[in-house]
Structure 1
């Protein structure tokens, strides 16, 4: 569609530009973002326009003329067709329009407080178990010792998989995650990913068959129960959703947990505040995700010629909604670079996205992170970084790759 518009083309409007490498972290580009943000709400980055202002980012995420490019992570690795590409694009993240609205409507009926509130004991048990393995040593690497193994058992419990099978899910997710990575993976093997995904599908098929005769209170049972105007989820959809929840609910949480622990360690007064006031846990989650988010960008593409924010975005324009910049917009947040878990009346963060693809599991993720931070601040006293904590690229799921800390004796 060609739009007749007097708005300047976004590429020809004299907007600020900045460049960064594909391995750049959010912290690497912060100064350049600040400079660009002071000049305009949009900048031209190395991959195209980047939305930097909070208000414009929030609006664009809700505008259906901009959509998530299907299979974008595989396309970044040079794969634009084939069985794996088809499988990824038929997932909930890959759908748009009426099919996506239908599935969201059914899934939202299943994602009830009842399905998630029962996980509180499991969450605490998992986190306490991980800390038990390191507390006597007085040191650990948060990434492999705590953050990485933390979320998978919780998602498995949510779905209703028994503990003895959780190691299977760990192995499957490690392999399948490679299809969701923006950065080329030297160990990428499409056949191995499809094999792991097939094994996961077979397992879920067995779970569904069992639940149809014996519904319980887990999420999979809730998905089977879910109905809207006589419409129900079929087996293919149940299988796709189970895998989707496992993928979406694992990598995001493990990376954000490590990022949240790091920023709290770097601000000892905030660690102590949370330790002494565990009722601030949800605020701590919001502030760590605002200040140090594991998800820093949201890709979108213009589905037609679009006039937005006073600029013309030609059809097919690839856009990055830079939520890292938006969450630190000084026009919205007072002293935006300050980390303060007691911050009040702050606008909602954009880290969970927005619009039609707003994260379905946002409330569960908040609960997982809040419970984890409460247990960590209670049991680990005066933690401090004792080595480098490099981050992954912001073009994808970011966060520290390693986070070595030392801490005092367990607080009774």
Structure 2
């Protein structure tokens, strides 16, 4: 771009073309992302403009003109009304403006360092119990044996639900999460999603009713206590936050634990470092999420014309903010394809978003993954992959579908 020149619409600019199929995995697409990134900070992808550079991705995530599309992926399937639409657009993820600011401000009072700290023992105990079941075998599938069952008992503990109900929560999460998939026909799954969501809402309503009479030391009680100048979360907002926490904290954690273990298995020297220095666990989370995130991007819709770095993004344009590309931008990360859990001085990864929509549970997620990695590193000797490790597509929530490993006993 020429300094001082009038901004050029992204649709008229000579942008690199970025092509990939809906079923392709992040590893398969990365070389094309990096080739396009070397040419320009924006590319024209299969779904429209894609922002690729770290600097521009960070700017877009912080710019209120780039808003979460109503209903997320639902508009792309022609859905703009109905019960499922109402549930999704009224979630914290889709809220904008004053409503979002109010609900997030109240809810943030419950997401304190103390809330994360009180779950430390639960996280360690849950992963240790899972490892106990496979430790003598010398092999396991990390996805099915460790990662998949790990987060739901922790979410139950966070909300104050009995641990014996974790399988019910797990089933609800599986069904409701289908509403956020880019790879299924939402009309086909809507009855299943709404049935599961209704059961979850009823369960949470009962929990809220009991908590109002006897507050305890859990997140739901903290959400009920949260108040600002006399304003509190309503019953429907409490229900939405509890359900949103289950959804946001289940599949993401499952997939990222498996993805991070996969990365470390492919770099045994990094496993060795983590085993010897467990204090590196949070850095290991950051580095494996930078290198191999399971959430590769997010959509934004232009509420008005916006000019950034000489590019004009017209109002009404849907933009894919490619955080995976930004996390490997060579202009900000030295040797970005290298995995190094001692990497120092690097800018923060953008996987958790930015601006007003920065992930409310980011610190909790980091801690949860870190504790899982520490337990696995300390207990499984010399873990290595023992077969193919297929991943889900980049355009959905990615991560390994299977991760067979062997280890010394």
TM range (shorter): over 0.9
Cα offset for 1:171? 1.3
Name the residue aligned to 2:31.
Answer: 31
RMSD: 1.3
Q: Deviations over 1:89-118 (max 9, x none)?
A: 100011100000001100111112222211
Name the SS for the 1:49 alignment partner: strand
Name the SS for the 2:227 alignment partner: coil
Name the residue aligned to 1:171.
Answer: 171
Name the residue aligned to 1:255.
Answer: 255
Name the residue aligned to 2:180.
Answer: 180
Stretch deviating more after TM superposition (17-26 or 266-275): 17-26
Name the residue aligned to 1:210.
Answer: 210
Name the residue aligned to 2:156.
Answer: 156
Name the residue aligned to 2:227.
Answer: 227
Matched ranges for 1:196-207 at <5 A:
196-207=196-207
Q: 1:343 to 1:388 in 2, by over 3 A?
A: same
Q: Deviations over 1:282-303 (max 9, x none)?
A: 1100000000101111111111
Name the residue aligned to 1:400.
Answer: 400
Name the SS for the 1:350 alignment partner: coil
Q: Deviations over 1:279-338 (max 9, x none)?
A: 100110000000010111111111112212211111111111111110000000111111
Cα offset for 1:6? 2.9
Stretch deviating more after TM superposition (304-313 or 277-286): 304-313
Matched ranges for 1:244-283 at <5 A:
244-283=244-283
Name the SS for the 1:12 alignment partner: coil
Cα distance in 2 for partners of 1:12, 1:316 equals 16
Cα distance in 2 for partners of 1:274, 1:148 equals 22
Q: 1:187 to 1:236 in 2, by over 3 A?
A: closer
Cα distance in 1 for partners of 2:226, 2:337 equals 43
Cα distance in 2 for partners of 1:387, 1:183 equals 26
Stretch deviating more after TM superposition (363-372 or 160-169): 160-169
Cα distance in 2 for partners of 1:259, 1:128 equals 19
Name the residue aligned to 2:360.
Answer: 360
| Structure 2 residues without counterparts, runs of 5 or longer | none
Cα offset for 1:154? 0.5
Name the residue aligned to 1:125.
Answer: 125
Q: 1:351 to 1:404 in 2, by over 3 A?
A: same
Cα distance in 1 for partners of 2:239, 2:383 equals 42
Cα offset for 1:187? 10
Name the residue aligned to 2:328.
Answer: 328
User: Is 1:201–1:243's contact at 8 Å kept on the other side of the alignment?
Assistant: yes
Cα offset for 1:141? 0.9
Cα distance in 1 for partners of 2:85, 2:187 equals 17
Cα offset for 1:76? 4.1
Q: 1:52 to 1:198 in 2, by over 3 A?
A: same
Cα distance in 2 for partners of 1:184, 1:296 equals 18
Name the residue aligned to 1:193.
Answer: 193
Cα offset for 1:189? 2.6
User: Is 1:76–1:183's contact at 8 Å kept on the other side of the alignment?
Assistant: no
Name the SS for the 2:250 alignment partner: helix
Name the SS for the 1:320 alignment partner: strand
Name the SS for the 2:319 alignment partner: strand
User: Is 1:294–1:399's contact at 8 Å kept on the other side of the alignment?
Assistant: yes
Q: Does 1:138 align with 2:163?
A: no
Cα offset for 1:186? 9.2
TM-score, L = length of structure 1: 0.96
| Structure 1 residues without counterparts, runs of 5 or longer | none
Name the residue aligned to 1:106.
Answer: 106
Name the residue aligned to 1:310.
Answer: 310
Name the residue aligned to 1:70.
Answer: 70
Cα offset for 1:392? 1.0
Name the residue aligned to 2:44.
Answer: 44
Name the SS for the 1:137 alignment partner: coil
Cα distance in 2 for partners of 1:85, 1:300 equals 18
User: Is 2:179–2:186's contact at 8 Å kept on the other side of the alignment?
Assistant: no
Cα distance in 2 for partners of 1:24, 1:80 equals 28
Cα offset for 1:396? 2.3
Name the residue aligned to 1:294.
Answer: 294
Cα offset for 1:75? 3.3
Stretch deviating more after TM superposition (381-390 or 211-220): 381-390
TM-score, L = length of structure 2: 0.97
Cα offset for 1:188? 4.2
Matched ranges for 1:336-355 at <5 A:
336-355=336-355
Stretch deviating more after TM superposition (352-361 or 6-15): 6-15
Cα distance in 2 for partners of 1:169, 1:224 equals 21
Matched ranges for 1:363-402 at <5 A:
363-402=363-402
Name the SS for the 2:273 alignment partner: helix
Cα distance in 1 for partners of 2:188, 2:333 equals 41
Cα distance in 2 for partners of 1:186, 1:400 equals 23
Name the SS for the 2:337 alignment partner: coil
